[in-house]
Amino acid sequence: MADGPADREAAAVDRLAGKAAGCESGRRRQQQRHGEEKAGSHRLTASAAWLNRRLRRRRRFMADPSTIRRLYGRSKGRPLRVGQESLLEQLLPAVSVPAEGPLDSRILFGDERPLHFEIGFGAGEHLAYRADLLPDHGFIGAEPFLNGVAGALGHIRDRRLANVRLHMGDALDVLERLPDGALRFVYLLHPDPWPKARHAKRRMINPGPLDLIHAKMAPDGEFRLGTDDPVYCRWAMMIMSGRRDFEWLAESASDFLTRPGGWPETRYEAKARRQGHKVWYFRYRRI
């Protein structure tokens, strides 16, 4: 996959750093030849300070993934069928999360009810299953992939679900509009793994997004994470074990190797299993 602007910026800064280092040594040689050491050192200091500022900005920018706020990955796949197009035209406006402004249960569902949030619902199987299971709860799903949204709309129509609201786009944009402590459940199933170390900052399991998720969850709320990617599994365990504000609800190894009740298999998970992948299931209590 092509590198995004953050990587291009990082590469550009690296190139600049390399060039500047080359320039500096060349310039220094010249200055020594012409006896301009004093004047030159001012120029070098200015250039090094400029580079330092850029590098500091870059480090700040890369340290907190919630500030990247850029969606990576596909937003469109196979051409939509006619039926899916009409769902997008007719049903999506009726079930969409309002485009702006603060959000809460009353604004979304017209009453007070426990709220669930699924980040990257894929084709919506899990979201629809849970919403069907708990008709008095409100379900919010965010997914930027158009074909996935069309799939979720199909489930909403087929199961006649009145308790689901969708956002076609970045989950973080909706999360931040909810009141603190609003969510009883948050689901993150098979997040994009970004297995290369240099892409780790794009993973949803990172301090910035986790701080936001934590803030929006109610005390004792449950955060569910599933992955079939060993790199992501290790990464998530490392990041989550460093947090004092989430408690891992596993009592034995089998707890995270066995799909818990009320956690249906998604199409993505089924595909992973067909390919011989293991799947790990994590449940955390929000403290």
The residues carrying an active-site annotation are 192
The residue range among 91-99, 156-164, 215-223, 267-275 that interacts with ligand SAM, by the rule CB under 6 A, is: 267-275
* Interface with ligand SAM (CB under 6 A), residue from 5, 26, 73, 230: 73
77 is a site residue for ligand SAM (CB under 6 A)? no
The answer to whether 155 touches 127, Cβ cutoff 8 Å, is yes
* Interface with ligand SAM (CB under 6 A), residue from 65, 151, 154, 191: 191
* Interface with ligand SAM (CB under 6 A), residue from 150, 186, 189, 213: 189
| Closest separation in Å from C-beta 130 to ligand SAM | 12
71 is a site residue for ligand SAM (CB under 6 A)? yes
145-to-78, 130, 152 alpha-carbon distances in Å = 11, 20, 11
148 is a site residue for ligand SAM (CB under 6 A)? yes
The residue range among 6-14, 77-85, 117-125, 254-262 that interacts with ligand SAM, by the rule CB under 6 A, is: 117-125
- Three-state secondary structure along the chain? CCCCHHHHHHHHHHHHHHHHHHHHHHHHHHHHHHCCHHHHHHHHHHHHHHHHHHHHHHHHHHHCHHHCCCCCCCCCCCCCCHHHHHHHHHHHHHHECCCCCCCCHHHHHCCCCCEEEEECCCCCHHHHHHHHHCCCCEEEEECCCHHHHHHHHHHHHHCCCCCEEEECCCHHHHHCCCCCCCEEEEEEECCCCCCCHHHHHHCCCCHHHHHHHHHHEEEEEEEEEEECCHHHHHHHHHHHHCCCCEEECCCCHHHHCCCCCCCCCCHHHHHHHHCCCCCEEEEEEEC
The residue range among 20-28, 142-150, 236-244, 252-260 that interacts with ligand SAM, by the rule CB under 6 A, is: 142-150
* Interface with ligand SAM (CB under 6 A), residue from 6, 10, 119, 186: 119
132 is a site residue for ligand SAM (CB under 6 A)? no
| Closest separation in Å from C-beta 101 to ligand SAM | 19
The residue range among 12-20, 42-50, 92-100, 170-178 that interacts with ligand SAM, by the rule CB under 6 A, is: 170-178
| Closest separation in Å from C-beta 150 to ligand SAM | 12
154 is a site residue for ligand SAM (CB under 6 A)? no
Pairing of strands 280-286, 164-167: unpaired
Which token pair is 201?
Answer: 């900052």
121 is a site residue for ligand SAM (CB under 6 A)? yes
* Interface with ligand SAM (CB under 6 A), residue from 95, 109, 113, 143: 143
| Closest separation in Å from C-beta 42 to ligand SAM | 46
Which token pair is 37?
Answer: 């050491």
| Interface positions with ligand SAM (CB under 6 A) | 71, 73, 119-122, 142-145, 148, 170-172, 189-192, 266-269
